[in-house]
Structures are given as structure tokens and as C-alpha cells.
Amino acid sequence: MAKAIPRIGSRKNARISSRKNARRIPKGVIHVQASFNNTIVTVTDVRGRVVSWSSAGTCGFRGTRRGTPFAAQTAAGNAIRTVVDQGMQRAEVMIKGPGLGRDAALRAIRRSGILLTFVRDVTPMPHNGCRPPKKRRV
């Protein structure tokens, strides 16, 4: 049986939402994942803790419309609006995936007024990848 972890201090009175909003972040990282079916924009601080996120699906787009550039632009705008209010001025941008929303999301980030230190493409590329399955019939 697992041993119970003793809690240090009590958090009964502290409201979690107030702690979350108290964090002022001058610099952050914006991750854009653009697949063919959806675009997810995540804003983290420099340590990698998520501050805000949005996707084309949560913005109300359904079906094939989630993969459009306009849906990506809306998702990026929604994710960034909250962190601009929290005081973010500079950000690094990591873009991953082959989707249509890559450029549109980057355009929306540029327009938001955040100074971009760099933009990096972190799409995973196989260096000849996995071995293919064997042929079914000879």
C-alpha cells in the first residue's frame, strides 16, 4: 500500500484562482501545434508551466472548419489576449506541425503587440523513421 504524502501547511482558505492570476510574466513561450484537423496554441512561462491555452475546437469551430487559417488565427488571439493582460511583453514562438494554421497563427501573434525574440520550427522529422511492417502476402 502506498504511503500517504504529508501535506505541509493548509490551503483551505487560499483561493487557487487568485494565485494563478497573481503571476506576472514578462517573458514567455508560445507553442503552436498546427495539424490538418486542428490548431492548438499554448502559452507557457520560460520554465514550461502553462499560463494560457486555446484551440480552434474550444473557439467554437467544429468539423473541417477547425483546420482553417481563420480558426488558427482566432485560437491564437484568444490564447494571447489573457497573457497580454497579465503583462507579457516578450515571447519565443515554437511552431510544430504541417497544418494550414501555421502562418495565420504567427500573423495573429505578431499583431498582438508582443515582441518576438525568435520563431523556431520544431516539427519532428524522422531520420528515416520506423521500420515498415512486413509484406502481407508473397
Can you tell me the distance from the alpha carbon of 132 to that of 112, in angstroms, rounded to the nearest whole number? 44
DSSP string for 25-94: -SEEEEEEEE-SS-EEEEEEETT--EEEEEETTTTT--GGGGGSHHHHHHHHHHHHHHHHHTT--EEEEE
Per-residue pLDDT of the chain (138 residues; tens, 9 = 90+): 566 766 665 555 544 455 555 568 889 999 999 999 999 999 999 999 999 999 999 999 999 999 999 999 999 999 999 999 888 999 999 999 999 999 999 999 999 989 999 999 999 998 999 998 998 877
At 14 the pLDDT is: 46
Among the listed residues 79, 91, 85, the one whose alpha carbon sits nearest the alpha carbon of residue 115: 91
- Note the pTM of the prediction, 2 decimals: 0.77
Pair 96, 34: CB distance under 8 Å = yes
The domain covering 25-119 belongs, at the CATH homologous superfamily level, to Ribosomal protein S11/S14 (3.30.420.80)
At 6 the pLDDT is: 65
Indicate the domain borders of the chain: 25-119
At 74 the pLDDT is: 95
